[in-house]
Amino acid sequence: MVSISLTRTAMGRLRPHQPSLVRFCGVAPGSTRFASLGLSEPPKRLSTQALPAVGSKVGAMLGLHHVPTIPPTSPFFAATKSVIVQEIRRQVARGTEEPFFVVDIGAALDRLSLWRWFLPRVEPFYAVKCCPDPNLLYSLAQAGVNFDCASRGEMEQLFELGVKPDRILYANPCKQPSHLKFAALRRVPLSVFDCEGELEKHAALHPEGDVLLRIAVDDSQAQCVMSCKYGAPIVSAKRLLARAAELRVRVRGVSFHVGSGCFSAHSFVEAVERAAFVFDIAESIGMKLDVLDIGGGFPGSDDGRLSFADIAAPLNGALGQMFPLSRGVRLIAEPGRFLAEKTHTLAVNVIGKKVVNASEGGDGTTRYYVNDGLYGSFNSVVYDHAKPTAQLLTPSGALDFSSEELYPSSIWGPTCDGLDCVIQNTQLPDILVGSWLFFERMGAYTCAAGSNFNGMPLPQKVYLREAASSCASAISLRQVKSQHQPHLVATAT
Ligand SMILES: Cc1ncc(COP(=O)(O)O)c(C=O)c1O
């Protein structure tokens, strides 16, 4: 029986992990998973000393070979929803009409703690493409995260923040030659290939650099597929490894991506099995590989059909079995959405409303027009297959739709394009023009790809927390502006 006590301070320290730990353990009194931890009732008092004991149980359930220890306490706990809503109201009260993001970098740092708790052997290389927000990159770099870049521009952004080249993986399997030359010049040590042409390019332009062989894996269980474009079929692995040896390009290991927004833990396990097979092929031709890159695909929050813990448990089992510590393989990953999604909340203004009367030949629905759309932050609806959820800002918080009369409605972006529909066929209460809607979890694949089409401005950003402002001072405002972010407004909570 593990006895647990939780002091107020320890409770504060454990906040980021606790929900997942609790969720994973099924901590409701009497639950069987809870009982399997040897606990008879939920932890009311929990001391940090007691955690390794719980950790070892959790570790065993996860199939880990060493017990995860509590990561160093981060002062950046995620802001609560009420703090974010309060900040939205504060901005609205200042008289703004433009859309804006409230950014909480603490949410990413909490997710990082979760990562280190559940996948302690796997080093995250944050996929910059997901959200290249300079404050986010800076904070992650400070927290010891490395980076996955797809281009010269992304690498340059990191160099400007002081990130050293050896913390960068140039993970684009098809590289523009001048970008690869840049990587060589700056001594970025590791990149990725998936075909002979790319190997030859590498041998010619970055002969000092090492590579990972990206293999195709099953990505059919993901929101966004990738293997249609990248990844070598497993049958070509031997030929490609042999060709690399001929060209004197050092292959260090294997990478894969199960697709972004993957909702199958099995996809990860199967991909690890495939990778292990390639390690064996390499060994059979006298090549010793020592890096496994398990890519991205991890969920941005734990509210969906598959939580991070649900993936981590079997994934750790597969890694422990096929790549035990004794094998000496460095395990890395390229999470994007996992770290970025919860950092941004988007607030948009209702700039117009049209009731399309059935009696006049319309469909009887109400169309709301807001000032950010598919060409801006909601490009995620097109590129990321996102399904944003609107909430209505009220003086006291968010309106609870369940107690309202609802009408068939749709939400449209501000451009003149008929495609620019953010949400079709939804049920909304009667909303006045001038009201504010907000959308949580808008950090992944949103501001990364928005445009100013039709002259529409992209949302400004309001950063919560003082840490963000000190970080902002480390980055020149000029640089921030050059990244399409009209303003950096740092406010203390
Ligand atoms: C090569 C590569 N790595 C990592 C990622 C990040 O994936 P995710 O956001 O699903 O973690 C992507 C996303 O497109 C990618 O292309």
Q: Is the pLDDT of residue 377 over 80?
A: yes
User: Same domain for 262 and 367?
Assistant: no
Q: Decide if 269 contacts 311 (C-beta within 8 A).
A: no
Average pLDDT, the chain: 83
For residues 115-119, average pLDDT: 95
Answer whether residue 287 shows pLDDT above 70.
yes
What's residue 395's pLDDT?
A: 87
User: Phi-psi bin for 170: left (phi > 0), alpha (psi -120 to 50), beta?
Assistant: beta
Sequence-distant (6+) residues with CB within 8 A of 273 are 318, 322
Q: What is the CATH number of the domain that holds 213?
A: 3.20.20.10
Residue 248 has a CB neighbour count (10 Å cut-off) of: 8
Which residue owns the Cα nearest ligand 1 atom 13?
260
d(CA 272, CA 153): 31
User: Which atom of ligand 1 approaches the CA of 296 most closely?
Assistant: 11
Q: CA-CA distances (angstroms) from residue 173 to 1, 198, 230, 344, 378?
A: 51, 8, 7, 29, 27
Are 281 and 415 found together in one domain? no
Mutation to probe ligand 1, out of 130, 311, 343 (largest number of atoms < 8 A from CB) = 130
How many A from CA of 104 to the centre of ligand 1?
Answer: 21
Q: Residue 76: CB within 6 Å of ligand 1? A: no
Q: Are residues 129 and 11 in the same domain?
A: no
Instruction: Give the model's pLDDT for residue 411.
Output: 98
Question: For 22-31, what is the mean pLDDT?
Answer: 33
Q: For residue range 189-224, what is the model confidence (pLDDT) as tens digits?
A: 999 999 999 999 999 999 999 999 999 999 998 889
Residue 149 scores a pLDDT above 60:
yes
Would you state the pLDDT for residue 474? 40
The pLDDT-based confidence of 449 (bands split at 50, 70, 90) is very high
- Look at residue 54 in the predicted model and tell me its pLDDT: 43
Mutate to test the pocket of ligand 1, among 123, 131, 146, 148 (most ligand atoms within 8 A of CB): 148
Q: Which atom of ligand 1 is nearest to the CA of 214?
A: 1
Query: From the CB of 143, is ligand 1 less than 6 Å away?
Result: no
Same domain, 251 and 134: yes
Which atom of ligand 1 approaches the CA of 262 most closely? 10
In this structure, are residues 137 and 468 in contact, taking their beta carbons and an 8 Å threshold? no
Say which CATH number the domain at 382 has. 2.40.37.10
Report how many domains make up the chain. Answer: 2
Which of 341, 364, 392 is the last residue in one of the domains? 341
Domain hosting residue 351, numbered range? 1-103+345-493
What's the confidence (pLDDT) of residue 76?
57
pLDDT, residue 358, reads 83
Do residues 314 and 442 share a domain?
no
Closest Cα to atom 7, ligand 1: which residue? 296
Q: What does the pLDDT read at residue 15? A: 36
Q: What's the whole-number mean pLDDT along residues 213-240? A: 94
Percent over 70 (pLDDT), the chain: 79
- The catalytic residue positions are 416
298 CB under 6 A from ligand 1?
Answer: yes
Residues 121 and 42 placed together within one structural domain of the fold: no
Look at strands 222-224 and 210-214 and give their pairing.
unpaired
Residues 111 and 250 in one domain: yes
Tell me what pLDDT residue 361 has.
83
> Which one has a higher pLDDT value, 184 or 228?
184
What pLDDT band is residue 140 in, cutting at 50, 70 and 90?
Answer: very high
Closest approach atom of ligand 1 to CA 334: 4
Same domain, 364 and 492: yes
Whether 260 and 223 have beta carbons less than 8 Å apart is answered as: yes
- Report the percent of the chain where pLDDT is more than 90: 71
Q: Please give the average per-residue pLDDT across 228-240, as a whole number.
A: 96
Does the CB atom of residue 260 touch ligand 1 within 6 A?
yes
Same structural domain, 66 and 135: no
Q: How many CB atoms lie within 10 A of CB 284?
A: 10
Q: Ligand 1 within 6 A of 295 CB?
A: yes
Query: Does the pLDDT of residue 344 top 50, yes or no?
Result: yes
Residue scoring higher pLDDT (375 or 261): 375
Q: Name the residue with higher pLDDT: 170 or 34.
A: 170
Out of 15-19, 158-162, 196-200, 270-274, pick the least confident: 15-19
* Cβ neighbourhood burial of 184 (10 Å; 0-12, 13-18, 19+): middle
- Confidence label for 227 from pLDDT (cuts 50, 70 and 90): confident
Residue 2 has pLDDT above 50, yes or no: no
pLDDT of residue 59: 41
Q: Does the pLDDT of residue 88 top 70, yes or no?
A: yes
Indicate whether residue 334 lines ligand 1 (CB < 6 A). yes
Q: Please check whether residues 305 and 417 belong to one and the same domain.
A: no
3-state secondary structure the chain: CCCCCECHHHHHHHCCCHHHHHHHHCCCCCCHHHHHCCCCCCCCCECHHHHHHHHHHHHHHHCCCCCCCCCCCCCCCCCCHHHHHHHHHHHHHCCCCCCEEEECHHHHHHHHHHHHHHCCCEEEEEEHHHCCCHHHHHHHHHCCCEEEECCHHHHHHHHHCCCCHHHEEECCCCCCHHHHHHHHHCCCCEEEECCHHHHHHHHHHCCCCEEEEEECCCCCCEEECCCCCCCECHHHHHHHHHHHHHHCCCEEEEECCCCEEECCHHHHHHHHHHHHHHHHHHHHCCCCCCEEECCCCCCCCCCCCCCHHHHHHHHHHHHHHHCCHHHCCEEEECCCHHHHHHHEEEEEEEEEEEECCHHHCCCCCEEEEECCCCCCCCHHHHHCCCCCCCEEEECCEECCHHHCCCEEEEEECCCCCCCCEEEEEEEECCCCCCCEEEECCCCCCCCCCCCCHHHCCCCEEEECCHHHHHHHHHCCHHHHHHCCCCCEEECCC
Residues 317 and 353 occupy one common structural domain: no
Q: Tell me the C-alpha distance between 447 and 467, whole Å.
A: 21
Which of 341, 367, 394 represents a domain boundary (last residue)? 341
- Which pLDDT tens digit goes with each residue over 34-84? 333 333 443 333 333 333 344 444 444 433 333 344 444 444 589 999 999
- Is residue 342 a contact partner of residue 107, using CB atoms and an 8 Å limit? yes
The pTM of this model reads 0.83
Q: Which of 282, 313, 341 is the last residue of a domain?
A: 341
Note whether 414 and 353 are same-domain residues. yes
Q: How far apart are CA 67 and CA 53, in angstroms?
A: 9
